[in-house]
Structure 1
Amino acid sequence: MPPRILVIDHTSQEGGGQLALLRVVEQLNGDRADIRALVFSSGVFVDRLRAAGIETAVLELDPAVNQTSRDRVLAPAALVRSLGRSVAFVPRLARAIRGARADVVVANTLKAAVFTALAAPLAGRRWVWHVHDRIAPDYLPAPLVAALRVLAVLGPRAIVVNSEATLATLPGRARRKSTLAYPGLAADAFDSPSDGADRAVVGLIGRISPTKGQRQFLEAAASVAETNPSTRFRVVGAALFGEDAYESSVRALPEALGIADRVEFTGWVPDAGRHLRELGVVVHASPVPEPFGQVVVEAMAAGVPVVATAAGGVPEILDPDGTADLAGGWAATEVGVLVRPGDSAALAAAIRAILDEPEARAARAVAARAAAAERFTIERTADAVWRAWRGAASGTVGSMS
Structure 2
Amino acid sequence: MNAVAGRQDTVLVAHPSAELYGSDRVLLESVRGLQEGGARVVVTVPAEGPLISELLECGAEVVLCRTVVLRKALLSPRSLPMLLPTSVAATWRMLLLLRRLKPQSVYVSTLTLPLWSVLPRLLGLRVVAHVHEGEESARPFIKRALAAPLLFASRILVNSRFSEAVLHAAQPRLRRRTTVVDNAVPGPPTPLALRREVHGDARITYVGRLAHRKGVDVAVEAFAELTASGSAARLDIVGAVYAGNEGYEEQLRQTIRDLGLQDRVHLHGFQPDVWPYLAEADIVLVPSRADEPFGNTAVEAILAGRPAVVSDTSGLREAAGNYSSVRLVPPSDPGAIAEAVEKMLAQWSWYCDLAAADAVTAAGRHSPELYRSRIAAHLLPSRGSYVKGKA
Question: For 1:338, what is the secondary structure of its paired residue?
Answer: strand
Superposition TM-score, scaled by structure 2 size: 0.89
Partner of 2:389: 400
Identity %: 27
Larger deviation, residues 79-88 vs 290-299: 79-88
Deviation at 1:141, TM superposition (A): 5.2
What letter corresponds to residue 25 of structure 1 in structure 2? V
Normalised to the residue count of structure 1, the TM-score between the two structures is: 0.87
| Residue of 17, 26, 33 corresponding to 1:11 | 17
Shift of 1:142: 4.3
Pick which of 197-206 and 340-349 moved more: 197-206
Query: 1:342 aligns to what?
Result: 332
Judged with a 3 Å threshold, the aligned counterparts in structure 2 of structure 1 residues 310 and 298 are, in CA distance, closer, same or farther, namely same
Aligned AA (2:190): D
Equivalent residues in 2 for 1:185-334, closer than 5 Å: 185-186=185-186, 189=188, 191-196=190-195, 200-227=202-229, 229-320=231-322, 334=324
> In structure 2, how many angstroms separate the alpha carbons of the residues matched to 1:297 and 1:303?
10
Q: Which of 166, 177, 182 pairs up with 2:163?
A: 166
1:368-390 deviations in Å (ceiling 9; x for gaps): 11111221111222233233224
Matched with 1:41 is 47
Match of 1:389 in 2: 379
The Cα of 1:76 is off from its aligned counterpart by 4.7
Shift of 1:192: 1.5
The CA distance in 2 between the partners of 1:92 and 1:51, in whole Å, is 26
Task: Give the structure 2 partner of residue 324 of structure 1.
Answer: none
Unaligned 5+ segments in structure 1 are 321-332
SS in structure 2 opposite 1:176? helix
Contact 1:94 1:122 in 2 (8 A): no
Partner of 2:6: none
SS at match of 1:170: helix
Q: Hey, what's the Cα distance between the residues in 1 that align with 2:34 and 2:383?
A: 15
Corresponding pairs, count:
378
The reply to whether residue 149 of structure 1 matches residue 147 of structure 2 is yes
Partner of 2:363: 373
Change (3 A) 1:194 1:181: farther
Q: Which amino acid aligns with 1:102?
A: P
* Alpha-carbon spacing, 1:79–1:251, altered in 2? closer, same or farther (3 Å): farther
1:267-296 deviations in Å (ceiling 9; x for gaps):
112212221221111110001121111111
Q: Aligned partner of 2:389: which letter?
A: M
**TM-superposed deviation, 1:84:** 0.8
CA distance in 2, matches of 1:110, 1:163: 14
> Take 1:397 and 1:126, find their aligned partners in 2: how far apart are those partners?
16
Q: What corresponds to 1:355 in structure 2?
A: 345
Which residue identity is paired with 1:308? V
Q: Unaligned 5+ residue runs, structure 2?
A: 3-8
Tell me, in whole angstroms, the C-alpha distance in 1 between the residues paired with 2:361 and 2:302. Answer: 8
Q: Does 1:86 align with 2:84?
A: no
Query: Match of 1:125?
Result: 125
Counterpart residue type for residue 173 of structure 2: R
Partner of residue 328, structure 1: none
1:127 corresponds to which letter in structure 2? V
Contact 2:33–2:373 (CA<8 Å) still a contact in 1? Answer: no
Helix, strand or coil: the match of 2:167?
coil
CA RMSD of aligned residues (A): 2.4
> Does the 8 Å CA contact 2:121/2:153 hold for their aligned counterparts?
no
Cα deviation for residue 196 of structure 1 reads 4.4
Q: In the alignment, residue 53 of structure 2 is paired with which amino acid?
A: D
Q: How far off is 1:303 after superposition?
A: 1.0
CA 98–398 in structure 1, closer or farther in 2 if over 3 Å, else same:
farther
Take 1:147 and 1:215, find their aligned partners in 2: how far apart are those partners? 31
Pair 1:337–1:350, CA change in 2 (3 A): same
